[in-house]
Chain A
């Protein structure tokens, strides 16, 4: 019987040591919003870091109060008796630097000016996030993480961890991810960014001081993104050509259920997500290319790694298709690393990594059992 981690309370952790970012900018200090579940063992060897994707955050599992409508974004995966078992592991969820859920980001007040950072907040790369996460591990006195786990952009962080801190990560679970974006991936991201950047309420990124948010842009960006998270089959299965009223209305109002769904998703998202954070996250995706400093070759980059890997993809994911995961697997094999790979049948497209599915959860559980045997012996 699986249960929830229950009521959880996030904590804000302050880092007062300046961090030099890849962009050349140095942040004098920053906060990270964090949640943890389970107990760190005496050897501090059972910690699992969960890296979030584009719109994720530190609230990975459980609920903040009894009345919370939805649990954390990966509650299906993490909890007592779940594949990432909080009875056996100390699980860390973190909102990345540049985020909008409590960690220092564009919407945070800049102590130097007393106003939100807005357009002055620097771009942050995946390797910068990994650096801040490594400092977070230091904060907990963790020398080596039992595993870094992430889907999509989160998987990229797991991959980066193994290259920049090889001795600090035993296992990397890289799910529905890619070794770098394709031109098509970047193109989608740019359309999303253009929607935000050209919104009249954007004000060059300093919309906070105008008391507005670029809702229309953010909404469009999310609608576009959402299309790429679903599969054609999955969308067809769920919505098909269903009409809300059953009749054609010969106009431009919401008619098809898919239109209604996307607009709802866009509205909901633009209520709580910060547009500058969205821009920043998409750029982090675009820039990610761990082979870049190795003549564009991922293999020598991964020769640095010491971790063992589990790579998982989903058959109908076209945002980061199984072929992209197989590129990671091939590079790991060529680099002489230990890797297992599974390609899970699913109609849910890219979003499948967030869903409950027996074969997917079984393989995650099997892999986590191995880690448990190593670190909790």
Chain B
């Protein structure tokens, strides 16, 4: 049975995860990624999700999901409980970015984060014109955005370094296509794998 296609960024994450791995998806939404992984790679999955309707959608799919706010940490999970911990398009909306990155590598061996690249040329261009950027990956106005912590590809790597972590692989996308030339200019979405140094 062929599975429905994943969103391009989720597909990149899924490609990095080997069969039978244990995966924690933070802010797992309706469980799309975990359901795909369970079906195609027989992974052992957990999700954390703050929205109760999304929790229900996960339960409907048979995905183990813990309803809760990960800003409070991942105290319910033991050290090293997972091979991979995924945080997809959420980090820019979190208060305690350093805290969650540390927690990810406490409960897991490898972290995978996706975030909108603020260095994308359209964002730079809109700022140059004197306006806050609004784009495909940053679709909000400044006054209603949940996003409070924007960064560029370089900023994120710099933060990893200060946390004794390192980027062990990155894919940069724009409209679903992989960008290899001038990614910090031409890529709107980053998918980064990282581990402890």
Contacts and interface: CB of A to CB of B under 8 A. Distances in A.
B67 A341 contact: yes
A359 interface: yes
B163 interface: no
B21 interface: no
Nearest to A362: B56
Interface string B55-67: 1111110111111
Interface string A7-24: 000000000000000000
Contacts of B133: none
Nearest to A339: B64
24 contacts: A310-B59, A333-B46, A333-B76, A333-B77, A334-B78, A339-B66, A340-B55, A340-B64, A340-B65, A340-B66, A341-B68, A342-B52, A342-B59, A343-B52, A343-B68, A359-B52, A359-B56, A362-B53, A362-B56, A363-B52, A366-B59, A367-B59, A370-B59, A370-B62
Nearest to B62: A370
Nearest to B45: A338
A330 interface: yes
Interface string B29-71: 0000000000000000010000011011111101111111000
A344 B59 CA distance: 14
A329 B74 CA distance: 13
A329 B64 CA distance: 11
Contacts of A359: 52-53, 56
The 5 closest A-B pairs by CB, nearest first: A366-B60, A366-B59, A342-B67, A363-B56, A359-B52
A338 B64 contact: yes
A363 B56 CA distance: 5
A110 interface: no
A369 interface: yes
Contacts, number: 54
| Interface size class, chain A | 20 to 34
Contacts of B64: 338-340
Nearest to A312: B67
Contacts of B55: 340, 342, 363
B66 A369 contact: no
Contacts of B68: 341, 343
B36 to A, nearest CB: 17
A226 interface: no
Nearest to B75: A330
A326 interface: yes
A366 B67 CA distance: 15
A345 interface: yes
Interface string B168-184: 00000000000000000
Contact of A370 (B52, B57, B60, B66): B60
A359 B55 CA distance: 10
Given A340-B64, A362-B53, A326 B59 contact: no
B75 to A, nearest CB: 8
A339 B55 CA distance: 12
Contacts of B56: 342, 359, 362-363, 366
A314 to B, nearest CB: 12
A306 B78 CA distance: 20
A345 B66 contact: no
A176 B76 CA distance: 18
A333 B78 contact: yes
Given A326-B76, A333-B78, A370-B62, 7 more contacts: A310-B59, A333-B81, A340-B58, A343-B67, A344-B52, A359-B53, A363-B56
